[in-house]
Structure 1
């Protein structure tokens, strides 16, 4: 080992440095961080031109590495993408009462599968089944870990080994290459597509029904829209056809709003109770999209079909835990009891923010952001159109306001500087995630709400590490 590397202090020496001692991390984490730091320094000092850092510098570098090792790999971010229910950013945030219920469930034993009255084993679905039935008009309900699982389980229980008839225009693909044909195959159903991409009629379903038919399926086209010369079969008619031939009718709603979106000034969205009223035997939808709850898949419908689904072997593999059920129960209680659901459910609160409120936020933030940017960037405030996200209402947009950062100079330099800015914002203590569009970085402020968030956003701009432009 070279003399330079011998000059590095021992781990115990660094452990006794005041900066390290004062850090609140445990001894085990500190020792690991300092060992990794010294290993990296030894490798660096192989280059004879490198200088040996002093003890204070190493100690402070050790504290930084301790912080890095203890950080969450999924840090909180500012979602300024313009997509409210963003799958990659965790979809919906929970209401305060749901967070409190989740925390209680994490800290205390619950009567999850224990019947208090009889003292015997119970059914964990009891936590939410009555609420789901009240809110949807269904006879029974069950819960699994997401809507994809709900679709797989329902198809497996009702149609494995038999044909599942669906309109060709509803053979959807959503994020992560989730394709309805693949899901049907995985669930053991035999896909029987009818009609065409843009037009399907009742007689298409009538003609396809036979001894091999297991069920009729309708999938809500939540992430795209077919416009123009189109025709679809209403749910009530599909239910009539299915029941006339003695097979169940299933509806996959996807987003699954539990309140009248139009009454909140938002684009209308199908609700589970409408499908139940139309005669659907089973309806599946998500808990963490427009409903604004935790990630889960909800299955509601007739008692006969729900019991059939719950008896399927996959049900245990796909069930949710006490944390999810507790947060879901608290969210459903808000839908039942709240006097102002748009204020009590965070997702609905974001979706219903007025453009004027968002514009006022932009005006407050603009001076601080402008002051943190190098001279070769221009900042402007512009109107924009936000998305609901996660496949909900793909055509409709919400009017909002954005801070738009545009680099100056020749084209190649502008492209490079834009990438540098985007990366620098993502490297802030609380990463800022925006949207690149039309040669600029758009920071849609719909999801930045409240004085605390505004203050945190402004205060961390001092840590923005973005060099001045170079030729």
Structure 2
């Protein structure tokens, strides 16, 4: 009997194959070569027949040169940090692709001279938040907070309620960030109660700014007291002390479903001098930190040397502008989803799965905003209920499907999944059931 190991195709022979050569042009020769070597080892191990080497290599190649894989989000968490937060609108995707080449990001084509960076994205932001005089974009909300603390608070005191010294996830703590900028924290009030008198008593010649941080992913109930932005703004009037509000989730205007979630327009209208927010949460765009408010303060941040290290690239500017000017992004469509339509989708999918012999049923469920937004506001939804053993195989599928296990069942929530993905979800479940 011949030794199959002697029949392993040579590496250069396989790489010269027209199909693999084309894959190398698209994905990179190194990535294809690695796949070839893995298949060669499988041939030595007897798992692949030598004539099947090229198809085996092609089957093992990723769709792109990136290791990131598209995932079906059936968790019921609309803004899921582990899954990249908000999905982008088709308009934003198209804008980013167009901006990935050579663009006029800092060139005035009319004059041939250098132009203002991100002018159109800033104009779109200001149109969306009329209460803002000026705006700035950096790479995330933490960067916006760091820039503000450095420019306004370095060597000075930032006055902040003790109950707002929050940790927002993965061990990231707001006070740790602030002190690294050289600012000194002046904590006021107690964990559950702070008064206007607490803030007034902390003001002095060393005060750089008063900072309000939205607690975001938790709520304190019971014997509590907070000072509203309007109250603080009135007390600070004439003192020259800026009031900065970090609202977190990126809601630019009030939303009927999220009335307790602060928004940029209302916060500025209430008297905040600057508002900081995220671009990749409830706004539904690319990762970005948004700074909106008084023109003189925004200009002060723009001219600070740290801004250069924190500014965003051309693709972020393009994606942000398209998100603001284009159709409703997916996260806003998810928020507006009709629970009755979600249940109808779940009934249809469950019926197809049951007809194929799968232990499936449609159930009512509760989705969440996620990303630190509206932690006490569940959203009525519908899900596909499957045996708990489906969870892991679905995550390892193509495409991966991420749901959540509730007791002895795997739930695939449909509010976080667009309707056009229903067929892919059904096919993924059927593929697992057929194993």
When the two structures are superposed, what TM-score results if normalisation uses the length of structure 1? Answer: 0.84
Distance 1:313 1:466, change over 3 A: farther
1:133 Cα offset (Å): 2.7
2:421 is equivalent to residue 453 of structure 1:
yes
Deviation of 1:269 (Å): 2.5
Asked whether 1:298 is paired with 2:290, we answer: yes
Q: How has the CA–CA distance of structure 1 residues 349 and 70 changed in structure 2, closer, same or farther, with 3 Å as cutoff? A: closer
1:273 pairs with 2:265: yes
Deviation at 1:94, TM superposition (A): 2.1
5 Å-filtered alignment, 1:17-166, equals 21=19, 24-26=22-24, 28=29, 30-39=32-41, 41-42=43-44, 44=45, 51=46, 54-65=49-60, 67-68=61-62, 72-110=66-104, 112-116=105-109, 118-136=111-129, 137-166=131-160
Which runs of 5 or more residues in structure 2 are unaligned? none
1:226 and 1:21 map into 2 onto residues whose CA distance is: 60
Q: 1:160 to 1:30 in 2, by over 3 A?
A: closer
**Aligned partners of 1:176 and 1:448: how far apart in 2?**
25
Q: 1:386 aligns to what?
A: 367
Say if 2:251 and 2:264, in contact at 8 Å, map to a contact too: yes
- Hey, what's the Cα distance between the residues in 2 that align with 1:292 and 1:139? 23
3-state SS of paired residue (2:78) = coil
Secondary structure in 2 matching 1:165: strand
Cα distance per residue 1:111-135 (max 9 Å; x no partner): x222345543232142233332333
Partner residue, 1:401: 382
- For 1:197 and 1:52, locate their aligned partners in 2 and report how far apart those are by CA, in whole Å: 62
Alignment pair present for 1:331 and 2:315? no
User: Which residue does the alignment assign to 2:302?
Assistant: 310
CA RMSD, 1 decimal: 2.6
- Note closer, same or farther for the CA distance 1:63–1:16 as it changes in structure 2 (3 Å cut): same
C-alpha deviation, 1:440, in angstroms: 1.9
| Distance in 1 between residues matched to 2:65 and 2:394, nearest whole Å | 18
Specify the alignment match of 2:228 in structure 1.
234
Note if contact 2:253-2:264 (Cα within 8 Å) is conserved in structure 1. Answer: no
| Structure 1: runs of 5 or more not aligned | 45-50, 335-340, 407-417
- Report if aligned partners of 2:363, 2:382 keep a CA contact under 8 Å in 1: yes
1:155-234 matches, within 5 Å, as 155-234=149-228
| Contact 1:239/1:280 (8 A) holds in 2 | yes
Displacement, 1:221? 1.4
1:362 is aligned, of 337, 346, 349, to 346
> Does the CA contact (< 8 Å) of 1:162 and 1:213 recur in 2?
yes
Answer yes or no: is the 8 Å Cα contact 1:172–1:221 preserved in 2: yes
Deviation of 1:441 (Å)? 1.1
Offset from partner CA, 1:214-249 (integer Å, 9 cap, x none): 111001111111111111111122123334432111
* Aligned-partner Cα distance in 2 for 1:135–1:239: 23
Larger Rg: 1
Q: How many corresponding residue pairs? A: 429
Contact 1:267 1:396 in 2 (8 A): no
Displacement of 1:462? 4.4
Q: 1:21 to 1:465 in 2, by over 3 A?
A: farther
Q: Which runs of 4+ in 1 moved over 6 A?
A: none
Classify the secondary structure of the residue corresponding to 2:362. Answer: strand
Separation in structure 1 between the aligned mates of residue 309 and residue 412 of structure 2, nearest angstrom: 41
Could you tell me which of 311, 331, 346 is aligned with 1:347?
A: 331
Q: 1:214 to 1:260 in 2, by over 3 A?
A: closer
